[in-house]
Amino acid sequence: MPPDLTTVDVVALAWFALIWLAYTVGQDRVWGRPVGVNQRMSGLRVNWVRAMLEREVRLMDGQLVGHTMNSVTFFASTSMLVLAGLVGLLGNVDRVYSVVSHLTFTVKTSQELFELKVLVLISIFIYAFFQFTWALRQYNYTCALIGTAPAPPVEARLRDSLAGTIATVMSHAVTSLNAGLRAYYFSLAAASWIIHPWLFLVSSNAVVAVLAWRQLWSGSARAIHRHLEILDGIERS
């Protein structure tokens, strides 16, 4: 371990990992009822697939899935570019460390601690890359499921069963995509560790606050909730 790794550094890094894990588990696994955008979107995907199974022409549905796959591919490629840059930084770490250590707004650290901070960033983008590529694989599975869906008319019970399986695989793909995007947000907090460990601690909390607000209280979250209520009302009528 770097000799100048302070208690504040350790606490900030541990809190960063803990709050990221807690937020991820809360978003993707714990909340059983639809309280955030991610959970409500899972319900919307079921409705989407039900509507798709009733359509004669499904070109639009394929285009929507293809558009999302292009976005996932873009982020996977971007992660590789960022990784290449960070690995290249390690190859010239003496020069980069000299530049960073002379900045007036950064805390003075040893080169070993600086390298540890860069390694944390590299680990985050490796994680993001694996999440994006897994999301892409699952979107390919979704395409196969959509391609094997029977033509209408589809009996109601079969339609609901197929909508459940297709929407579940699609939601798993979106969960991996969200995890990769979340890594980008948390990488910004990790980058602030280079400036100061206290800023690292504050930035970690700020990232979670921003993500939670978007999930629970943003205008889009309220509109999606209202949209689901309208669809539920149509089904009950």
Q: Within 10 Å of residue 88's Cβ, how many Cβ atoms? A: 11
Average pLDDT rounded to a whole number, residues 185-205:
97
Token couple for 61:
């549905």
Query: Same domain, yes or no, for 136 and 71?
Result: yes
Query: Same domain, yes or no, for 130 and 106?
Result: yes
Tell me, what's the pLDDT at 232? 82
Average pLDDT rounded to a whole number, residues 20-41:
78
pLDDT tens, position by position, 105-122? 899 999 999 999 999 999
Tell me, what's the pLDDT at 233? 82
Query: Same domain, yes or no, for 178 and 222?
Result: no
Average pLDDT rounded to a whole number, residues 131-159:
94
| Selection from 194, 205, 200 nearest residue 13 by Cα | 200
Tokens 């080169």 sit at which residue? 111
Residue 22 Cα distances to 28, 65, 172, 189, 190, angstroms:
10, 30, 19, 16, 17
- The total domain count for the chain is 2
Q: Cis ω on the peptide bond leading into residue 153 (within 30° of 0)?
A: yes
Helices 197-216 and 219-236: crossing angle, nearest 10°? 30
| Selection from 117, 164, 127, 132 nearest residue 145 by Cα | 164
Confidence at 38, pLDDT banded by 50, 70, 90: confident
Is position 88 within any domain?
Answer: yes
Confidence at 30, pLDDT banded by 50, 70, 90: low
Query: Same domain, yes or no, for 97 and 189?
Result: yes
Query: Same domain, yes or no, for 168 and 220?
Result: no
Query: What residue numbers bound the domain in which 207 lies?
Result: 197-237
Is position 25 within any domain?
Answer: no
Query: Same domain, yes or no, for 153 and 70?
Result: yes
Average pLDDT rounded to a whole number, residues 20-26:
91
Using only C-alpha atoms, what is the Rg of the chain?
Answer: 22
Query: Same domain, yes or no, for 135 and 234?
Result: no
Is position 23 within any domain?
Answer: no
* Alpha-carbon gap, residue 167 to 180, rounded angstroms: 20
Tell me, what's the pLDDT at 209? 96
Is position 26 within any domain?
Answer: no
Exposure string over 3-14, b if 16+ CB within 10 A, otherwise e: eebeeebeebbe
Average pLDDT rounded to a whole number, residues 148-174:
94
Query: Same domain, yes or no, for 129 and 160?
Result: yes
Of 195, 211, 226, the one marking the end of a domain is 195
Query: Same domain, yes or no, for 118 and 173?
Result: yes
Query: Same domain, yes or no, for 207 and 174?
Result: no
